[in-house]
Amino acid sequence: MEHKIKRSQEQHQWKEKIEELLKNMKYGNITIIVQDGKIIQIDKTEKHRI
Please state, in angstroms and as integers, the Cα–Cα distance from residue 14 to each residue in 7, 35, 38, 49, following that order: 11, 14, 10, 28
Instruction: Note the pTM of the prediction, 2 decimals.
Output: 0.67
- pLDDT single digits (tens) 23-44: 999 899 999 999 998 888 999 9
Parent domain of 28: 2-46
Count of domains observed in the chain: 1
Rounded to an integer, what distance in angstroms lies between the CA atom of residue 42 and that of residue 50?
Answer: 26
Is 4 or 48 the better-scoring residue by pLDDT?
48
7: left (phi over 0), alpha (psi -120 to 50) or beta: alpha
